[in-house]
Structure 1
Amino acid sequence: MNYIPLILSGVCLNALAQVFLKKGMLMVGYFDFSLVNIAQIIFKVAGNPFIILGLGCYMFSVALWLLVLSRVEVSFAYPFLSIGYILTAIIGYSFFHENLSISRLTGIFFICLGVVFISKR
């Protein structure tokens, strides 16, 4: 059976979790860690819908990942997680206007190439 779609679903959910967490933290804003404001920060973070959505995506991606690991070799499945780097770079560029320089694009190319080699049994 081909488990690559299941692996990619988990990877995409993990990347989506990162995007939701980033959006949530942009809404929370910059803060300093100190005992004085710890309760306020926890309240702001825990009550943010994007943080909650991101954590939910993480939980579901972990459940999928456990399913994957019960069926395929970890040395086959684990390299696919690097696709998350690609997805988050593209989403970060598209939605958050983050830098996507030539060096990052080159790195993404090599990640893609590596995943192609790994996926060939």
Structure 2
Amino acid sequence: MNLTTFAFILSGVLLNACAQLFLKAGTNAMGGAIHLTAQNALPTFLKVVSQLPILAGLACYGVSLVVWIVGLSRTDVTIAYPMLSLGYVVSALGAWMFLGEVIPPQRLLAIGLIMLGVILLART
């Protein structure tokens, strides 16, 4: 995989992870868990789509899709798709840094293993 292709794939992964963080920030701003019922579906939907972090997350998803398609057109899916696992790493670190989530030691070990796998994959 050349540097340009890697940049497209990595940009898609990073945008996707940013989308997750924005969506979580938006749900946190709404007070946490969303409980849907038939009676509150429309007001809840309107409240969700009025949250700026949620709109930012949806925008990140849209851009990541375009970037991902470009990257995918330039490499094998057997290389590109596993790179999505980097999203777990970025999301976990972002959740720790920006949302105050705790990353216990076992999760840190898992993140390290994911990184090792991505490094091995990128070298093929």
User: Given the two structures, how large is their TM-score scaled by the length of structure 2?
Assistant: 0.93
Q: Tell me, which stretches of 5 or more residues in structure 1 are unaligned?
A: none
Number of aligned residue pairs: give it. Answer: 121
Q: Tell me, which stretches of 5 or more residues in structure 2 are unaligned?
A: none
CA contact (8 A) 2:6 2:71 kept: no
**Mapped pair 1:75 → 2:78:** yes
Show the counterpart of 1:117: 120
- Give the superposed CA RMSD: 1.0
Show the counterpart of 1:42: 45
- One-letter amino acid of the counterpart of residue 93, structure 1: W
CA contact (8 A) 2:9 2:72 kept: no
User: Given the two structures, how large is their TM-score scaled by the length of structure 1?
Assistant: 0.95
Show the counterpart of 1:63: 66
**Mapped pair 1:8 → 2:10:** yes
Trace 1:88-107 onto structure 2 (pairs within 5 A).
88-107=91-110
CA drift at 1:31: 3.2
What CA deviation, in whole Å up to 9, does each residue of 1:67-91 have, x standing for no partner? Answer: 1111100001111111110011111
Task: After the TM superposition, list the runs of 4 or more consecutive aligned residues in structure 1 that deviate by more than 3 angstroms.
Answer: none
What CA deviation, in whole Å up to 9, does each residue of 1:79-104 have, x standing for no partner? Answer: 11111100111111111111201100
- Take 1:24 and 1:11, find their aligned partners in 2: how far apart are those partners? 20
Show the counterpart of 2:87: 84
What percentage of aligned pairs have identical amino acids? 38
- Take 2:79 and 2:37, find their aligned partners in 1: how far apart are those partners? 43
CA drift at 1:40: 1.1
